[in-house]
Amino acid sequence: MSARLIAVGVGPGDPELLTLKGARLIGEADVVVTPVGDRSDASIAHSIVEGMIDPSRQQLISQVYPMKRDQEGLDAHWEKSAAEVAALVRSGKTVAFITLGDPFLYSTFLYLHRQLRENFPDVAVEVVSGVSSINAAAALAGVPLGLSSERLAVLPATYEEDELTRTLEAFDTVVLMKVHRVFHRIRDLLDRLGLKDKAVYVKRVGLSGQAVFPDLDSVSPGDLDYLSLMIVKK
Amino acid sequence: MSARLIAVGVGPGDPELLTLKGARLIGEADVVVTPVGDRSDASIAHSIVEGMIDPSRQQLISQVYPMKRDQEGLDAHWEKSAAEVAALVRSGKTVAFITLGDPFLYSTFLYLHRQLRENFPDVAVEVVSGVSSINAAAALAGVPLGLSSERLAVLPATYEEDELTRTLEAFDTVVLMKVHRVFHRIRDLLDRLGLKDKAVYVKRVGLSGQAVFPDLDSVSPGDLDYLSLMIVKK
């Protein structure tokens, strides 16, 4: 294989939702880089690929996320990560970078991608798409994201209320990310808009503890997980 | 395996973008149903799974789409399709229904799903998510769909201009489906909104003839394909 960085989306968490192409390229790579750290999604990506590596001919690098969430620390992390990956590719290695879900949709890979494009434009990048947690959550909940003429919006639940209201009114299906942070505010908003019974909360799809809550009132504080989302389908 | 209908999304067209789970369940199914017809996406799904079937123990059923696009003909088709699938499952068979992309996002499966829910609620349905052509097109074009705080909208390009304008102004990334029908109208609209150089047209991702057009003015009438979309990324 030619030296390059391959971003492999391993899907939402179920190791079987990896694509055939992703599995092949992880097996063929000289170096496999996975993020590990305090955030549970990082370690999950690591655990999915750990058993697929042949240590006799492949190198497994775990890039540790910074513990603190400050922007400066994150920027420094991704600068270092990009430099490490770029050096490996420039030395002739094929490097697979593992990320949960799809590399181009709300993934940690996008921070590395931006650093590479800005500072190492000579490094070839290939993206192998993966199943997004959005699609997997819809499948688990039995709620289609959209028929052919429908409109779908995906946005963080942390937007201001006016913005959320406009979107909920205009679109047929709305997926709210990061909903664990503002769950009660969202539930109240949906109630006021008459949409509470059109919503379903999905927690940790494809992972241990996965659950679907068609009744938002049955969601307890312990169910508010970082890896969760809400689908509102009119 | 227990008798049920399994909707398997085989991804955007590249047979390697099928998931490990999808491949396993196609291999284990008693009956594999694929749509075939005049629409090219139907035959593509068929060709992806054709080589995976073991004719000595598996039955392959090709459900032919109606040639005409009239609503009555389509409804009659899906009623018949649902009855055929339901009879197989009720007789104890495990039936895999093949669809391009993801079964719950703009797929032909959703018409069958609606018929089954309405008329055969006893038939168990499992959905195996697939890579959507939206994610694959973004990967091919090198255009991320969204970082963590961004908003993504997906809608048919055939909506009226006011609706499209509001969406293009409010969202960070907009994916326009069915754009081949109204390509020149959309190009003119993007030009007026100052977004023409933020748009990329992607044709037949993962299939023969796939192409990326970062310059909308270079798209010729022969490039306007049913299996195409546009990504507008600010």
Same domain, B105 and B157: no
Q: What angle do CA B129, A150, B190 make, to 5 degrees?
A: 110
- Partners of residue A15 in chain B, C-beta under 8 Å: 20
A61: CATH? 3.40.1010.10
pLDDT band with cut points at 50, 70 and 90 for residue B70: confident
Q: What angle do CA A10, A12, A16 make, to 5 degrees?
A: 60
Q: Residues A153-160: what's their mean pLDDT?
A: 96
pLDDT band with cut points at 50, 70 and 90 for residue A210: very high
Q: Is A10 on the interface with B (CB under 8 A)?
A: no
The pLDDT tens digits for B154-188 are 999 999 999 999 999 999 999 999 999 999 999 99
The total number of residues written for chain A in this structure: 234
CA–CA distance, B234 with B232 (Å, rounded to integer): 7
Whole-angstrom distance between the N-terminal and C-terminal Cα of chain A? 47
Q: Which one of A125, A147, A152 has the shortest CB-CB distance to B110?
A: A147
Average pLDDT value over all residues in chain A: 93
DSSP state, A101?
B
pLDDT band with cut points at 50, 70 and 90 for residue A68: low
User: What pLDDT shows up at residue B38?
Assistant: 59
Q: How many domains, in total, are found in chain A?
A: 2
Res B102 pLDDT > 90 = yes
Same domain, B52 and B154: no
Q: Is B106 on the interface with A (CB under 8 A)?
A: yes
Say if the Cβ atoms of B146 and A105 lie within 8 Å. Answer: yes
**Tokens 């969601």 — which residue?**
A219
Same domain, A11 and A109: yes
Same domain, B99 and B156: no
Q: Which helix (H) or strand (E) holds A203?
A: strand A199-203
Same domain, A171 and A151: yes
Q: What is the pTM of this model?
A: 0.94
Q: What angle do CA B48, A146, B171 make, to 5 degrees?
A: 110
Pick the residue from chain A with its C-alpha nearest to B135: A129
Same domain, B121 and B169: no
- Domain hosting B33: range is 4-128
pLDDT band with cut points at 50, 70 and 90 for residue B57: very high
CA–CA distance, B124 with B118 (Å, rounded to integer): 13
* Lowest-pLDDT range of A151-155, A212-216, B224-228: B224-228
Same domain, A99 and A139: no
- Among residues A128, A145, A162, the one where a domain terminates is A128
DSSP chain B: --SEEEEEE-BSS-GGGSBHHHHHHHHH-SEEEEEESSSHHHHHHHHHHHTT--TTT-EEEEEEPPSS--HHHHHHHHHHHHHHHHHHHHTT-EEEEEESB-TTBS-THHHHHHHHHHH-TTS-EEEE----HHHHHHHHHT--SB-TT--EEEEETTS-HHHHHHHHHH-SEEEEESGGGSHHHHHHHHHHTT-GGGEEEEESTTSTT-EEESSGGG--GGG--SSEEEEEE-
Res B13 pLDDT > 70 = yes
Same domain, B62 and B100: yes
Q: Is B165 on the interface with A (CB under 8 A)?
A: no
CA–CA distance, A214 with A62 (Å, rounded to integer): 37
Reference A113, options A87, A74, A65, A81; nearest CA is A81
Res B41 pLDDT > 70 = no
CA–CA distance, A21 with A7 (Å, rounded to integer): 12
The pLDDT tens digits for A87-116 are 999 999 999 999 999 999 999 899 999 999
Same domain, A124 and A90: yes
B221: CATH? 3.30.950.10
Q: Is A148 on the interface with B (CB under 8 A)?
A: yes
- Partners of residue B154 in chain A, C-beta under 8 Å: 146, 151-154
- Among residues B128, B152, B171, the one where a domain terminates is B128
- Partners of residue A136 in chain B, C-beta under 8 Å: 129
Pick the residue from chain B with its C-alpha nearest to A25: B16
User: What pLDDT shows up at residue B39?
Assistant: 59
- Among residues A104, A128, A152, the one where a domain terminates is A128
Reference A38, options A226, A231, A232; nearest CA is A226
User: What pLDDT shows up at residue A36?
Assistant: 78
Res A47 pLDDT > 90 = no
Same domain, B144 and B123: no
SS (H, E, C) B34-92: EEECCCHHHHHHHHHHHCCCCCCCCEEEEEECCCCCCHHHHHHHHHHHHHHHHHHHHCC
Same domain, B171 and B113: no
pLDDT band with cut points at 50, 70 and 90 for residue B42: low
Same domain, B52 and B120: yes
**Which amino acid is it at B47?**
S
- Partners of residue A113 in chain B, C-beta under 8 Å: 144
Q: Which one of B18, B21, B149 has the shortest CB-CB distance to A156?
A: B149
Q: Which helix (H) or strand (E) holds A64?
A: strand A59-64
Res A215 pLDDT > 80 = yes
DSSP state, A146?
B
CA–CA distance, A211 with A224 (Å, rounded to integer): 11
CA–CA distance, B48 with B9 (Å, rounded to integer): 11
- Partners of residue B136 in chain A, C-beta under 8 Å: 129
Pick the residue from chain B with its C-alpha nearest to A145: B105
Reference B63, options B28, B29, B90, B39; nearest CA is B39
